[in-house]
Amino acid sequence: MRLFTFSTALALSILAAASVSAQVNDEKQEFAVTIGEMSGSTPNVSGIPLTLGSGVGLEANFARKFRTVKYGSLFWEVDALGSPLRYLSVAPNSHAVRSFFAAPGLKWQFSPGPAWSPWMAVGAGYAFYDANSAASAVAVATIGPVPPSGTVVTSTSLKTNTYAADFGGGVDYVVRPHFVIRGEARGYYTGGPKFGLGSTSGELNFIIGGGIVWRFTK
């Protein structure tokens, strides 16, 4: 009796797991990793000629299809982009700036052929800038508000948490059923980083890069 009960429970468990697996596999999922170059810019601070240099950008993206129509598929996605090192400078000083962006959104993937598939995406989320370092004290003393006479500037925090709007597009090329090569261009427009100078205008961070995609299919 115990063996029968155990066998029945095991069979039902396997059946339930297979059913759940089939339901999950009905929805195509994909995970992408890309690398590229982050754009530089000239942050708008009145009277101060700042330059934010370009740098390497690393991106991870998870997307899941929830609807298929005649000319393509609609996905929800979560995109995350990090830039570990760019330099903010004004002659003769500079300091490192790290940044991170994350946004959920929607992706529309066209399906003109079996190999090539262009897409576009849009979303909104979070942006973080960090330039907290020993060099920032020198930079702020040079390019920031003049401290009162006799004040010694030793350190400062240039961290900024703000909003982000995500937009972009690209092309996927299917190498194998589960593996895809991706080329893309994506931008994050964010609230103004402080950079030790008070609020600036909005900042556009743009990346052009490529990478690989792993698709989970039925």
The answer as to whether 15 is a domain residue is no
Give CA 96 to chain center in angstroms.
Answer: 19
The answer to whether residue 3 sits within a structural domain is: no
Q: Tell me, yes or no, whether 200 lies in a domain.
A: yes
Report the percentage of the chain scoring pLDDT > 70: 67
Tell me the pLDDT tens digit for each residue of 134-153: 444 444 444 444 444 444 44
Number of domains in the chain: 1
Is residue 87 included in any domain, yes or no?
A: yes
Regarding predicted confidence, which is higher, 28 or 20? 28
The verdict on residue 5 lying in a domain is: no
pLDDT, mean over the chain: 77
Res. 95 pLDDT band, cuts 50 70 90: confident
**CATH code at position 211:** 2.40.160.20
- pLDDT above 90 as % of the chain: 43
| Residue 8 maps to a domain | no
pLDDT at position 159:
81
Lowest mean pLDDT among 4-13, 58-67, 72-81, 122-131: 4-13
Report if residue 49 sits inside a domain. Answer: yes
Q: For residue 102, is it within any domain?
A: yes
Q: Does 123 or 21 have the greater pLDDT score?
A: 123
Write the CA distances from 217 to 18, 27, 119, 162, 175, integer angstroms. Answer: 15, 7, 18, 36, 14
Range(s) of the domain holding residue 44? 28-216
Q: Is the pLDDT of residue 36 over 70?
A: yes
pLDDT at residue 65 greater than cutoff 90: yes
* Residues 190-218 as b or e (16 or more Cβ within 10 Å = b): bbbbbbbbeebebbebbbbbebebebeee
pLDDT surpassing 90 at residue 188: yes
